[in-house]
Amino acid sequence: MAKAPAQKKDDKQIIRIFDTTLRDGEQAPGNSMNIEEKLRLARHLQKMNVDVIEAGFPIASDGDFEAVKKIAQLIKGPEIAGLCRSSEKDIDRAWEALKYAGEKGRIHTFIATSDIHMKYKLQMEPAKVLASAVKAVKRAAGYTPNVEFSCEDAVRTRREFLAEVVEAVIDAGATTVNIPDTVGYTIPSEYYDIIRYLKLNVPNIEKAIISVHCHNDLGLSVANSIAAIQAGARQVECTINGIGERAGNCSLEEFVMILRTRKDILPFACNVATELLTPASRLLTTVTGIGVQPNKAVVGANAFAHEAGIHQHGMLMEKTTYEIMTPESVGLSTNALVLGKHSGRHAFSKRLIELGFELDDEKLNHAFERFKTLADLKKEVFDEDLEAIAAEESRVEDRYKLDHITVTCGSFAVATATVQMEINGIAVRTAELGDGPVDATLKAIKKLTKSKAKLLQYNVGSITGGTDAQGEVTVRVSEGDHNVVGKGASTDIIEASAKAYIHALNRLNFKQKRLNASV
Q: How many other C-beta atoms lie within 10 A of the C-beta of residue 410?
A: 8
Residue 318, pLDDT score: 60
How many domains, in total, are found in the chain? Answer: 4
Residue 317, pLDDT score: 55
Collect all residues with Cβ–Cβ distance below 8 Å to 383 and sequence separation of at least 6.
282, 333, 336, 338, 351, 355
- Rounded mean pLDDT of 468-481? 85
| 11: in domain | no
| 389: in domain | yes
| 440-459 tens-digit pLDDT | 999 999 999 999 999 999 98
Residues 79 and 186 in one domain: yes
Residue 226, pLDDT score: 98
Residues 386 and 495 in one domain: no
pLDDT at 408 over 70: yes
**Window from 89-98, 193-202, 510-519 with minimum mean pLDDT:** 510-519
State the chain's mean pLDDT as an integer: 88
d(CA 214, CA 165): 20
Residue 1, pLDDT score: 37
d(CA 113, CA 157): 6
Residue 10, pLDDT score: 43
* Confidence tier at 321 by pLDDT (50, 70, 90): low
| 155: in domain | yes
Report helix, strand or coil for 109: strand
Q: Domain residues for 498?
A: 400-518
For 425, counting Cβ atoms within 10 Å of its Cβ (0-12 exposed, 13-18 middle, 19+ buried), the class is exposed
DSSP state of 15: P
Residues 203 and 352 in one domain: no
Residues 383 and 269 in one domain: no
| 320: in domain | yes
Residues 360 and 233 in one domain: no
Q: How many other C-beta atoms lie within 10 A of the C-beta of residue 506?
A: 21
Residues 244 and 108 in one domain: yes
Residues 355 and 443 in one domain: no
Residues 320 and 249 in one domain: no
| 54-75 tens-digit pLDDT | 999 999 989 899 999 999 999 9
* Confidence tier at 313 by pLDDT (50, 70, 90): very low
pLDDT at 491 over 50: yes
**Window from 175-189, 341-355, 425-439, 495-509 with minimum mean pLDDT:** 341-355
pLDDT at 395 over 70: no
| 1: in domain | no
Percent of the chain with pLDDT over 70: 89
Of the candidates 275, 318, 314, the one whose C-alpha atom is nearest the C-alpha of residue 298 is 275
| 266: in domain | yes
- Which CATH number is 220's domain given? 3.20.20.70
Contact 430, 447 (CB under 8 A): yes
| 278: in domain | yes
Burial code (b: 16+ CB inside 10 Å, e: under 16) for 158-177 equals eeebbbbbbbbbbebbbbbb
Rounded to 5°, angle at Cα 34 from 254 and 288: 40
Residues 317 and 340 in one domain: no
Residues 168 and 245 in one domain: yes
- Which CATH number is 481's domain given? 3.30.160.270
| 296: in domain | no
| 273-284 tens-digit pLDDT | 999 999 999 899
Contact 21, 240 (CB under 8 A): yes
pLDDT at 384 over 80: no
| 112-160 tens-digit pLDDT | 999 999 999 999 999 999 999 999 999 999 999 999 999 999 999 999 9
pLDDT at 311 over 60: no
Residue 332, pLDDT score: 77
| 23-51 tens-digit pLDDT | 999 888 778 888 988 999 999 999 999 99
d(CA 109, CA 392): 36
Residues 374 and 466 in one domain: no
List the beta strands (DSSP E) in 113-266: 147-152, 176-178, 209-213, 235-238
Kindly state the greatest CA–CA separation across the chain. Answer: 81
Residues 283 and 172 in one domain: yes
